[in-house]
Chains A and B, each alone.
Chain A
C-alpha cells in the first residue's frame, strides 16, 4: 500500500470519524458537557441501520436473534416490499430510518441524564454529576446492546459493490466514494444550517451565553434537544456508512470509533464545528499512515497520546477559541 493510497483511505475514514466528532462538539458547545454517551449512540445507530437494512432487503440472516424471520416477512414486507430489488434505495431508506431512531435515542439520553441536572446551583457536585450521568448512560447503552444484540460480531449486508474510477487514484470502491460524497454534502449542509438558519443562530447564541440567549426568547431546552437530535443523526449516518464500507457491528464498536471521534473533536477544538471536521480528517489520515509502519497495532495508543498532548499544549485545540473560560 503506498502513501497516497493510505492518505486517501485515511480521508474516507476521517470523514466518517468527523461525522461522529460533530456530535461531541455541538453538544459541548451548547451544554459545556462531554457527552460520553455519544459513542454509544453511534454504536446503537449501527445496529438500527443493520436491522432496518436487513428488513428492507428481506434478508434477516445478519440479525438472527434480534428479528424473527416471520416478523420480517409479515409486517415489513407489505410496507417496504417495493425496495426489495433495489439495494441502493434500501440502504438509503435504512440510513434515514437509523438517523431518525438515533435522534430519538439522543434526545432520550438528554432527557434522562442531563436535563434533570440543569438549573442546579453551583458547588463542587455540579461539575461532577453530569459527568457521572454521562458515563452512566454510556455504560448503560453499551451493556444494553450486549443484552439485546449479544456480543457477536455481525456483518452488514454488502449492498454496495463495484468500483469507481477516480482520475489520479485509480479504482476506489464505490462505498468509499459514497462515504466521501455523502460526508462532504452533509458537512456543507451542516455549515449552512449553523450559519443561516434560526436554529443554527440560536445554537451558537446558546453556546456563547445561555442567559443572553434566553433573553432573546430562545427556548433553550428545545434547542438543546435539537442539537442532540442533529448530532445523533450525524453519528448514525457515520455509523451506517462505516458499516456499509467495511465493517461488522459489535457492542463495543462505539468505544473504538467513538474514542477516535472524541479525540478528533478535541484536536480540532471542542465546540468548533470546522475544528471537528479537520480533526476527523487528521485522525483518519494519521491512523492509516500508522498502519504502514511496524506499529500498526498502536493506532489507539497514538490517538490517546495525541489527545493528551493536545490537552497539555493547547487545550483549546487547533481551531477552538482561546478565550479563557470564567470559573
Chain B
C-alpha cells in the first residue's frame, strides 16, 4: 500500500506522542448519556481495538471522532491539535477515514464510483489510480466487480468495499466499525488479514469489534468499553488472557 498522500502535508509528531487522543469525551442523545467520559489514545502505527457489548458506546466513540455527533464535553485531538471546530469533511481532509458500521456503501452506485467517492477530497488523478491499484490488490474480488452496483455485492464484499473506499482517501488514521458484522467466517479471516496488511503499510487503525477473539488477536492494545466508560485497557494479549474478559467476552 502506498499511503503518503501527495497533496497532504505530513504531520509533525513528536516521538512518543499519540496520533489520536480522546480526553473525557462525553456524548448524550436527548438526555441519555451514551458516553460518560472516555479517555483513549492511539499511537502512530498501532492497531488498537475497542471491544464491548452492544450499546456500550463503541460506535458513538467513532462518530465523536469523525464529528458526526456533538460532544457534550471533553476533547478529541489529532496529533495534538483539538478537532472541536472541524467539520466532518475537514476531519476527512486531515486524514481520518471511517468505514462505518453496516458498511453504508452507496447501493445504486457502481463499485468503481463508490471507490472514487472515497477520494472525493483528494482528486489527484495519479494518486487515485495508484490507490485504486493498491485496493484491488488488497481485495481482488473488488477488482472483478468494478462495474457492478454496490447493492448487488455480498455482505463480505460490501465490507471490503467500505474499507477500500475509506482507504481511497489515503488516511493516516483508519477507523473500522464492526468489520466482521454479519459476514461469513471465511471472509472475516480474509478481511482481518487485509487489516493487518494495511497496518503494516503504516496506517494507524482503531478497530471497533464485537468479535473479541479476532479483535484481540489482530491488535496490539485494546480498550474495553462498558456503558459509556472505559472499563479496562491494556496489552491485547494480556487482555485476552484476563479471566474477566474471558468470562464476559470470550465465552469461557
Contacts and interface: CB of A to CB of B under 8 A. Distances in A.
Interface of A: 121, 198, 201-202, 204-205, 208-209, 211-219, 321, 323
Contacts of B97: 215
Contacts of B37: none
A216 B120 contact: yes
Given A209-B106, A216-B118, A218-B89, A201 B123 contact: no
B121 interface: yes
Contact of A208 (B88, B92, B107): B107
Given A198-B123, A201-B116, A218-B120, A323 B66 contact: no
From A202, A209, A321, residue with most partner B Cβ within 10 Å: A209
A121 B100 CA distance: 21
A205 B123 contact: no
Interface in B89-142: 89, 92-93, 97-98, 100, 104-109, 113, 116-118, 120-121, 123
B109 A215 contact: no
Contact of B66 (A198, A202, A215, A218): A215
Contact of A212 (B105, B116, B121, B123): B105
Lowest 4 A-B CB distances belong to which pairs?
A217-B121, A217-B92, A212-B104, A208-B106
A204 B108 contact: yes
A218 B120 CA distance: 7
Contacts of B98: 215
Contacts of A121: 30
Most buried by A among B30, B89, B97, B98: B89
Interface residues of B, number: 27
B108 A217 contact: no
The residue in A198, A216, A218 that gathers the most chain B C-beta atoms within 10 A of its C-beta is A216
Nearest to A195: B113
Nearest to A323: B107
Given A202-B117, A216-B118, A208 B108 contact: yes
Task: Kindly name the residue among B87, B116, B120, B166 whose own CB sees the greatest number of chain A CB atoms within 10 A.
Answer: B120
28 contacts: A121-B30, A198-B120, A198-B123, A201-B116, A204-B106, A204-B109, A205-B106, A205-B109, A205-B117, A208-B109, A209-B106, A211-B100, A211-B104, A212-B104, A214-B68, A215-B68, A215-B92, A215-B97, A215-B98, A215-B166, A216-B117, A216-B165, A217-B92, A217-B93, A218-B89, A218-B117, A219-B89, A323-B107
Interface in B48-73: 66, 68
Nearest to B121: A217
B106 A202 contact: no
B89 A214 contact: yes
Contacts of B169: 216-217
| Chain A contact residues: helix, strand, loop or mixed | helix
Nearest to B105: A212
Nearest to A222: B89
Contacts of B120: 198, 201-202, 216-218
B123 A211 contact: no
B28 to A, nearest CB: 12
Nearest to A121: B30
Contacts of A212: 100, 104-106
A15 B68 CA distance: 41
A217 B89 contact: yes
A211 B30 contact: no
A201 B108 CA distance: 11
Contacts of B88: 214-215, 217
Q: Which of A209, A214, A217, A323 gathers most chain B CB within 10 Å?
A: A217
A316 B105 CA distance: 22
Contacts of A321: 108
Contacts of B109: 201, 204-205, 208
B106 A211 contact: no
A218 B123 CA distance: 13
Nearest to B117: A216
Given A204-B108, A217-B120, A219-B87, 8 more contacts: A198-B123, A202-B117, A204-B106, A213-B117, A215-B166, A216-B169, A217-B93, A219-B89
Contacts of A215: 66, 68, 88, 92, 97-98, 100, 104, 166
Nearest to B116: A201
A201 B117 CA distance: 7
Nearest to A202: B120
Contacts of B123: 198
Contacts of B93: 217
